[in-house]
Amino acid sequence: MNLILQALHDIPSAQVEHLAKLSSAARIEQVAPHLYCLRDAKPHAEIAAYCFENRLDYGFVPRDKHLSDFGLLVMDMDSTLISIECIDEIADMQGLKPQVAAITESAMRGEIDFAESLRRRVGLLKGLDEGALLRVHDERLQLNPGAEIMLAELKKHGIRTLLVSGGFVFFTERLKARLGLDFAQANELEIVNGKLTGKVCGKIVDAQGKADWLNRVREELGLKREQVIAMGDGANDLKMMAQAGVSIAYHAKPVVREQASYSLNFVGLDGLVNLLGH
């Protein structure tokens, strides 16, 4: 196994050497000032806490595992591909952000059922002008750091992309067009006479819905489970992540970090490329 170390800052050599010693690494390779590969390393109980304390992201990656082995990346939207929770920002237009954000947080931690939480949050938006959606998109929606680097690298390797969200089609479709994503799936807000009705159209894309879409697209592309990477940050991403060969917890809740193959707690989305690119 290789131990990949990465950070947003230059990693002090003393920290790298300490981790090389803990992991009994055969040799240290510096790939960039903020990126190291410790060859032939072995897991050690102290590594996780040491890395977290020093704001380092780490991952033990099999020597024969490369980006080119994969054919599909499935990712969540809110707080994963983008930095906001769209529904919280829409609620802000109604002066309801604290109430809606509290339900969002509870759902992300896995305390309440996602579909129920979505219905409750959308219900609070009843009567809001649909123009609020465009305002959130234009004024507040930003990609998380490293998103474009990651997507460019995936394209280079012919890896397809599926954006699957418990959020809304209004945003996923715009991101799909802007970023050249291959597939996108999300929920649709019911709008009548230019106003949100407080309801969601059709079947809600919840945790199981995300997992189902991953498998649907994987089968359509003729891929095996091992050829899929899934990335998310909240409890409603866990079922989807369990269906992938590799799962990435991105700046995620503890419940997600505990179950993922790898966690990116500090670096941007391009950390995926650093992790599997060596």
Q: Which positions are catalytic?
A: 76, 78
User: What Å distances lie between residue 111 and 103, 106, 114, 117, 237, CA to CA?
Assistant: 9, 5, 9, 10, 14
* CA separation for the pair 91, 275 (Å, rounded): 36
**The pair of three-digit structure tokens given for residue 177, joined into one six-digit string:** 């067009």
* CA separation for the pair 1, 152 (Å, rounded): 26
β-bridge mates for residue 72, sequence order? 160, 228
3 state SS for 95-129 = CCHHHHHHHHHHHHCCCCCHHHHHHHHHHCCCCCE
Strand spans (E) along 131-251: 160-168, 183-192, 195-201, 228-232, 246-250
Contact 266, 247 (CB under 8 A): no
User: How big is the CA angle at 219 (ends 82 and 174), to the nearest 5 degrees?
Assistant: 25
**DSSP type of residue 232:** E
* CA separation for the pair 108, 114 (Å, rounded): 8
Radius of gyration of the chain (CA): 20
β-bridge mates for residue 2, sequence order? 61
* CA separation for the pair 6, 37 (Å, rounded): 9
